[in-house]
Structure 1
Amino acid sequence: MASPAQSAALFAWTFPREPPSVALARAFVSDVLPHVPCVRCNEELRQTVVLLVSEVTTNAVRHGAGSHFLVECQVPDPTRLTVTVHDDGPGLPCPRVATAEDEGGRGLALLDLLADEWRYEHRGPGKAVAFTVTAPTLRSRKCAVRVTALP
């Protein structure tokens, strides 16, 4: 596995395109999240990001191509996080309706439901699938600024 690359707003890691890498990608993103202001103090948003990473990286493993996939976490500003997964597969995501008996087919529906936005595009020999989450309002944040009245 390659070492992580980090700049002021970007964390990235390359993983082998194999099933155990989904858990490694979740762990990588979980390690990044304490450095992301919009997620740091919001457990519900943290769990949402980890779930979506699991879905998107599972798709890269199952439907991608090549020997590796790349996960990037970008913090464009303190209120947003964008996670992008790159793989060398030529096919683009195709939403489908999963039945109760299906083991898969819910990842893109979860992106639609839980991410503030998501997109995909051709990149190089493959594709990139990205999603963005945004901080909830300050009023609903668990680590909102505490105001203490002076006596």
Structure 2
Amino acid sequence: MFRIPGKIGIIALAMTLFVGVATSFPAAAANTQSTLREDIAKATAGHKLTADELDRMTNVVTTIKSDPKAYNLHSKKPNSLDEMVANLNNDPKIKALLDENGFDAREYLVASMTLAHSAVAVRVGPDKLPNVDPENVEFVRQHQAAVDALMQTRR
């Protein structure tokens, strides 16, 4: 079963090339956290997870984990989704890896955040998190083994 990692912050996941839920971000200021949360909520609204995305996300994470020193996984904490996108785009190796897997930085982040949010909802209950798409929760349930494997891979 999926275990909630100690830090599901979006950068922890994005910079390990898998992202999480903005509400667990230790933001420097309340308005920064609010802006990031709002950006994420807007960007992920209506996004439907697919098996193809899950496979491509898994490939990205597995590639990075196989040689983490080859990728710059350290960047400043973002104040917005645009900063998160810029952080990924500013690393040529990460950008190339995303391109190879059919993602641009924003698409990858949206898919990853949607997956992480939905996986947490499965674990804690969809009624305990805001803006949970029941179809994405069902997707995670149907692909639980692959989601669990991805979560383990990114640690």
User: TM-score under structure 1 normalisation?
Assistant: 0.28
Bigger Rg, which one: 1
Question: Could you say which structure has the greater relative contact order, defined with CA pairs below 8 angstroms and 6 or more residues apart?
Answer: 2
More helix by share: 2
TM-score normalized by the length of structure 2: 0.27
Greater strand share, structure number: 1
